[in-house]
Amino acid sequence: MRIRRSHIFLCSFAALGLVGIACGGDGSTAATGGGLTGTGGAGSGTGAGTPTGSGVGAGTPTSSGVGAGTPTSSGVGAGTPTSSGVGAGEPTGSGVGGGSSNPDGKPTPDTDGSPKGKFRVNLSNGRITVDGTDTQIRGGNWFGLEGQDDTARPGAMELFIGSMFWADNSAKRTIEDTLKEIKSSGLKFNTVRLPIAPQTLVQGHPDGDYSIEDPRIRNNDPDKYPYANAYEAFTDFLKLADKNGVYVVLGMHSCSNHIGWRKGKLNDGPPWVDSDRENYEYKKDDYTCVDGEDAYNKDKWLADIRTMAQLPKKLNIKNVLGIDCFNEPWKYSWSEWADLAKECYDVIKSENDDIIAVVEGVSSSHQKPGASGLELDPEPFGTEGINPNWGENFYGQAAYPIQIPRDRLCFSPHTYGPAVFVQKHHVDQSKPECVGLEDDAAAEAKCQLVVNRNNAEAVATMEKGWDEHFGYLRAQNFCVLIGEFGGVKDWPKNELEPAAAQRWAHLPANARHDWEWQNIFVNYLKKRKMTDFLYWSINPESGDTGGLYGHKYTDANKDGWGTWTGLDTEKVQMLSGLQ
């Protein structure tokens, strides 16, 4: 999950013409430790919120005639919405080009004859089974080990656990404290999605070497976080989760701990979506996954997937439910990504009989063939103007069915509301001056928002988009595990980004549009019986979403960075009803 907004780390891309490009889930706030010791930043976290993505005007047809459901020049994602299935908008496939693993458009197979495993998908209802028993997956994301945006220690890999060394002793926590609490509280969580980077898997990597003091890599109290390096923290987390009966979805979150949320493909490189931001200190144009120390490619990725799949046997644990192959692959077309995801599954299958392949969606654009950086073409996603977030778009599955067997596959969309990115369909388009505007442009025009549970038309529009992007898959009895959603419930009031309240000061006081969005989405999930979820995030350091735990940090009290308070009772109540 990339972070779009935070106290210092702002990620609005309207000026770039990249409407709604993501930024949550990986880039979080970047407080500097309140000047307590001068030994490095207090961490920056990993935000949430994959904004919406399209380098071509957020789904607007281009001169090539690409529109809602129309095949692109690569032949990917053909299929026009019909009124069948889960509401108007289930795609139907009529074209299959662009990929190599399924040139004939064969349906996704039910099974491939894999031996019996601990985790599977019930083919009759799409539910995950544990030792043959249907099980609701209830959980959240817990980030930090995938690397953090921090000027003093770029890419530092350290899990946020609410135990900063400068914190009040009574407030410090351990990993196990939180595992026990999220399981026993009203959340009744049984799963954690743990984002990592390739470097997390390297024992003793300098960006995760906690003996380094200048710049300081470990900000957690060593008594509460007793690890020599990030790899030790990672593997002990898995063992502690197993001990406490918590399943884990491992997520390869980026091509590099230095680049984080910005990447859209395995071997991605600059310019990044935030390259042209003014007054912004977290630019990453000196880092690339094309070559150099952060070079990444398919072979390295598959080797990392293999390492992840081998961990249960190596650590003698049985709680790794799935491997999320790659976070928000927004620069691939669906057919390109479906082919790569099949290779991810093939490696998982060769190493582990238990683990499920977790596959995210694409976006509303993809990188042009042979191009680099931000040279993008549109990717079909359904109705024009109801744009998907990065990782949300599975529209192309109807035309180009993935070849991972259904009993070992979970589709995992990411979706967010206005706290991460204000989309066109969140904006009151009845005002002439607001037509076609979104996010900061809509704020500057003093547009009102329509995100409200009592606005039937707005709710129907959002539900139509979700149906087209991924909801139709649940009606076909695929496993759909919501991989990320969340938000700052009092947005635009946000202590990690005070400027948001100023930009949107014209909105009615206490409107709570993102909280409305979250509840609209939860109601949709219940209506569609699509109740497997991983909320973003458990820890509160995400600048554009906050977390399930409160945070002592405020704009006036920066020394509170990294110190958690109690669980948010409103969020707990909302998620407790997601059954």
Cβ(513)–Cβ(504) below 8 Å? no
Cβ(272)–Cβ(331) below 8 Å? no
Cα(511)–Cα(63) distance, rounded to whole angstroms? 39
The β-bridge relationship of strands 247-252 and 191-196 is parallel
Cα(62)–Cα(219) distance, rounded to whole angstroms? 48
Which one, of 539, 560, 540, lies nearest residue 168 by Cα? Answer: 560
Non-local (6+) Cβ contacts of 286 within 8 A are: none
What single letter denotes the amino acid at residue 65? G
Cα(226)–Cα(252) distance, rounded to whole angstroms? 24
**Bond into 492 cis (ω within 30):** yes
**Per-residue burial over 320-343, b = 16 or more CB atoms within 10 Å of its CB, e = otherwise:** bbbbbbbbbbbbbbbbbbbbbbbb
Q: What angle do CA 129, 134, 135 make, to 5 degrees?
A: 85
The interaxial angle of helices 298-315 and 230-243, nearest 10 deg, is 50
Return phi, psi of residue 449, to 5°: -110, 155
Non-local (6+) Cβ contacts of 528 within 8 A are: 86, 471, 474, 475
Q: Which two tokens stand for residue 173?
A: 């926590």
Sign (positive or negative) of CA dihedral 223, 228, 230, 235: negative
Residues in a beta bridge with 378 = 365
Catalytic pick from 146, 351, 484, 541?
Answer: 484
CA 352 to chain centre: 25
Beta strands in 171-234 (DSSP E): 191-196
Cα(317)–Cα(310) distance, rounded to whole angstroms? 11
Cα(543)–Cα(149) distance, rounded to whole angstroms? 12
Using DSSP, state whether 363 is helix, strand or coil. coil
Which one, of 396, 399, 315, 312, lies nearest residue 356 by Cα? Answer: 312
Cα(294)–Cα(155) distance, rounded to whole angstroms? 11
Q: Please indicate whether residue 328 is annotated as part of the active site.
A: yes
Using DSSP, state whether 336 is helix, strand or coil. helix
Q: Which residue has the tokens 């979820």?
A: 533
Using DSSP, state whether 433 is helix, strand or coil. helix
Catalytic pick from 90, 146, 328, 497?
Answer: 328
Q: Please indicate whether residue 278 is annotated as part of the active site.
A: no
Q: Give the end-to-end CA distance of the chain in Å, rounded to a whole number.
A: 24
Cα(437)–Cα(491) distance, rounded to whole angstroms? 19
Cα(30)–Cα(22) distance, rounded to whole angstroms? 17
Cα(361)–Cα(381) distance, rounded to whole angstroms? 11
Q: Which residues are catalytic?
A: 328, 484
